[in-house]
Amino acid sequence: MASNHFDLIVAGAGLSGITSAAAAASRGLQVALVSSGPGSFVFGAGCVEVQNMDRNTPSLREALDFFCNLTELAGCGFRGGLEDKRYIPTILGCFQAVSLAPFYMWNGDPTAASQVAVVGIRGLSSFDSNFVAERLAYHACKLERSTAYTAHEIKLLTVADTFPGTLQFGNRYDRDPRFREELRNALLPIAAKANLIILPGILGLKTGQIEIESLEKQLGCMICELPTLPPSIPGMRLFNRLERHLRGAGVEFFTGFPIQQLQIENGHCKGVLLDTPARPLKLLSETLILATGAFSGKLLGTSFTSVNHDLHPVDANSAVIADNVFAAGAILRNSTARELNAKAILTGYVGGMLAAGVGVQYAR
Amino acid sequence: MRDDDVSLDNCLKCSDCNTACPVVTAHPAFPGPKRLGPELERMRREGIHCDSDWVEYCLSCHRCDLACPNEVNVSELIARAKATHKKSPSRRWRDYWLARPGLLGKLSTIAPGITNFWLGLKPVRLLMSMFTKITPARRFPAYSNSALRAPEVELNQGERVVFFPGCFIKYNQPELGCHVLQVLQLNGFKPEVANAGCCGVPSLANGLPGEARERAKANVNSMAAAVDAGARIVTACSSCGHMLKTGFAHMLEGDAELEKKANKIAANTFDLAELLMAQQDAGKLNTHFGPVAGKLKLAYHAPCHQKSQGIGRPWYQLLRHVPGVEIEDLNAGCCGMSGTFGFKEDKYLVSMEVGSELFAAIHTNAPQAVVTECATCQMQIEHGAGVSAMHPVDLLLNAYKHGARK
């Protein structure tokens, strides 16, 4: 029972960090996931675009399949795949073309429904149903769809002296059965005249497939839930679900303390030092995956320029900086904003598999 | 914290802290750490009056600090807001006492039998709620009439360690302190008990940094010599451990000599399980665990101040290897007690609402007992979930006893 010795340390709990930890754990590795904050989950919902990528990118299909399966196991399943393309609405009233999306967004496509009710909540300033409905109708026209969008506003009992935000509603949805009932009753008359309801993201941070699909069944109507200003309730829900699943799969979480230093000696990384109170906590591992995002690449030093075909970080002369370190996700800085999530899943999956000694291909 | 500390400028308003805050989750009207921390501090620095009664609802659990991706000292900023906050006279009077468990302990253990008898009477508790705003719904922990002393068997060999007991072990559960000392002895240490008082966490949580500073000063002076002589400090209460590691040096900023001593103490302070796991890594842990009576199904609750120490889950890792013990980490958030918070009449309902997720997880898990190293978490779990709660060291000592018998 060595305390802090692992097969793999994953740094970063964003989309790529989570995917790589899951991939490695699925191959039997003892994984530690080190993070400070839930990555980009707090800003978005995790929709994946692959339209602009080469569909034959090595390992891409495998990675997306793995991710879909992972979310299904975590109780927050994604729909779609490499060949799919759907138009998902946003709170700014436009459509975003995606290939994969969480189940509670997938039905937002204008082809999925003919009568769509866009439902706002009185007092919730971050979602304007009139604005969204009008713009969606306009954009649906441009896409040559005849879907009708109508705006609605429901009134929910709010807590006195507060400006209700999506976080308040999300927390109450999780904890208060009366609030769930109130919301359902408010939506019922609207659902009777529509086959899709578009809502701001408020359906709980801890809910999952069972709870939301049961609400759809009670309403007799599909739901599409959109992330609003941070915190994104759907994004945090996905994160909470994945975290719970990974803990169950034996991944050890070290949350809240950034990495102070990688212990690289002679081109080999022995472990990391975490910036913990009193003295740094030392974690040892055989391999390390750096998925710390676009803004914190400093750990590898200034010489880090990109990665080679095995995802090892290399310097300007293509010399490997550490032979047991892999870099994944936005730290690679080789993605456009649109393909960021797809690349995060791809490199996270490839990194996790390579760390587990499984031969998978990665082409830059 | 200095006024020129600019960590608040790192706040991107991402709301990770609000999402992680147990009070925001449970109490929809609570403005949240983002507002009460960095945003109020910014106004204070501009000289704008911005006091809010809500700062009293901060549990000082440090979950916001752990959630922040940009290392803003959120809870510290809220502690500053608490220090400048004006309370009503009745709450100020109550918090004067709650902030000083050491003083309360000293007075109550003069005649513990009488104290316990009085505190156990329902009419007395109702009077206390009327005059001191302490909830009648809870029972005060019983005070003990025995004192915690270093073990009588003199061992001349073994590494010297100093056990920092904290108020709860000192005044309420000295037998738990004895168990800590025995486990240390069983692992070849030569333990002694620190001549120390309250760590200062309750004072800080109740908005009295001056009092906390006095406690820090006294404790640092009483332990500095031992640390200089090479001894390590051991804690068994997660809040004391958190304070020794993060609070003392910070509280004593401005006094270079004391700060240096405090930093040295922090660097040499170990949670008991952290120390034992370090022994394990060095191949020196006593692993003569015997199977505890029958099969024991337990659930582990990690106190917030254990998480904030950044030491992983040493107790959980350790107990998993005790034969006959089946243990699961509940991972169900904060218990809501937050030391003295749950005793306050006006905060009682919020405290219970925060804990409801943990209580539900305990009911689903249906363990024979919950294991957690924080005394007030134990109180809250027994009160809210109706399941007995114990300190992990009791279990470990029991396993050693069964191991010796084999």
Determine the Cα–Cα distance for residues A332 and A316; give it in Å rounded to an integer.
Answer: 14
CATH of domain B287-405: 3.40.50
Residues of A in contact with B13 (CB under 8 A): 230
Determine the Cα–Cα distance for residues B91 and B100; give it in Å rounded to an integer.
Answer: 14
Are A89 and A217 members of one domain?
yes
Question: How near does any CA of chain A get to the CA of B157, in Å?
Answer: 26
Given this chain, do its domains B159-279 and B287-405 carry the same CATH topology? yes
A174 occurs within a structural domain: yes
User: Which segment of A143-147, A160-164, A356-360 scores lowest on mean pLDDT?
Assistant: A160-164
Contact call for residues A184 and A218 (beta carbons, < 8 A): yes
Are A33 and A168 members of one domain?
no
Check if A172 contacts B (Cβ < 8 Å).
yes
Check if A237 contacts B (Cβ < 8 Å).
no
List Cβ neighbours of B405 (8 Å cut-off, separation of 6 or more). B290
- Tell how strand B369-371 and strand A95-98 pair up: unpaired
Determine the Cα–Cα distance for residues B264 and A248; give it in Å rounded to an integer.
Answer: 38
Are A60 and A89 members of one domain?
no
pLDDT tens figures, B176-231: 999 999 999 999 999 999 999 999 999 999 999 999 999 999 999 999 999 999 99
- Chain A residue closest to B68 (CA)? A37
What architecture does CATH give domain B7-84? Orthogonal Bundle (1.10)
Note the ipTM here.
Answer: 0.93
List Cβ neighbours of B332 (8 Å cut-off, separation of 6 or more). B301, B357, B358, B360, B361, B362
Nearest to B310 among A160, A161, A256 (CB): A256
Check if A162 contacts B (Cβ < 8 Å).
yes
What is the pLDDT at residue B152? 64
DSSP B223-247: HHHHHHTTPEEEESSHHHHHIIIII
Determine the Cα–Cα distance for residues B67 and B56; give it in Å rounded to an integer.
Answer: 21
Question: How near does any CA of chain B get to the CA of A177, in Å?
Answer: 14
A360 occurs within a structural domain: no
Annotation: CATH topology of B159-279: Rossmann fold (3.40.50)
Contact (CB<8Å) B278/A162: no
Its domain, for residue A92, covers 84-227
Q: What is the CATH number of the domain that holds A322?
A: 3.50.50.60
- Chain B residue closest to A236 (CA)? B19
List Cβ neighbours of A176 (8 Å cut-off, separation of 6 or more). none
Question: How near does any CA of chain B get to the CA of A38, in Å?
Answer: 8
List Cβ neighbours of A228 (8 Å cut-off, separation of 6 or more). A91, A126, A127, A166, A200, A201
Nearest to A3 among B66, B69, B280 (CB): B280
Determine the Cα–Cα distance for residues A345 and A84; give it in Å rounded to an integer.
Answer: 17
Contact call for residues A135 and A143 (beta carbons, < 8 A): no
Q: Is the pLDDT of residue B274 over 90?
A: yes
A41 occurs within a structural domain: yes
Contact call for residues B24 and B30 (beta carbons, < 8 A): yes
Are A92 and A216 members of one domain?
yes
- Which of B7, B11, B15 best probes binding to A when mutated, by most A CB atoms within 10 angstroms? B15
Q: Is the pLDDT of residue B238 over 80?
A: yes
What is the pLDDT at residue B305? 97
pLDDT tens figures, B135-152: 989 888 889 888 887 766
Contact (CB<8Å) B331/A247: yes
pLDDT tens figures, A18-61: 999 999 999 999 999 999 888 888 888 889 999 888 989 999 99
Q: Look over chain A and give the mean of its residue pLDDT values, rounded to a whole number.
A: 93
A170 occurs within a structural domain: yes
* Number of structural domains in chain A: 2
- Which of B12, B19, B329 best probes binding to A when mutated, by most A CB atoms within 10 angstroms? B19
Residues of A in contact with B320 (CB under 8 A): 1
Contact (CB<8Å) B69/A4: no
Contact call for residues A50 and A343 (beta carbons, < 8 A): no
Q: What is this structure's pTM? A: 0.94
DSSP alpha helices (H): ranges in A252-308? Answer: none
- Chain B residue closest to A175 (CA)? B26
Residues of A in contact with B28 (CB under 8 A): 159, 162, 164, 168, 171-172
Contact call for residues B79 and B60 (beta carbons, < 8 A): yes
pLDDT tens figures, A192-203: 999 999 999 999
Contact (CB<8Å) A278/B321: no
Domain coordinates in residue numbering, chain B: 7-84, 159-279, 287-405
What is the pLDDT at residue B329? 96
What is the pLDDT at residue B145? 84
A164 occurs within a structural domain: yes
pLDDT tens figures, A232-290: 999 999 999 999 999 999 999 999 999 999 999 999 999 999 999 999 999 999 999 99
Contact (CB<8Å) A278/B317: no
What is the pLDDT at residue A354? 96
Determine the Cα–Cα distance for residues B252 and B263; give it in Å rounded to an integer.
Answer: 10
Are A169 and A257 members of one domain?
no
List Cβ neighbours of B220 (8 Å cut-off, separation of 6 or more). B248, B252, B258, B261, B262, B265
A78 occurs within a structural domain: no
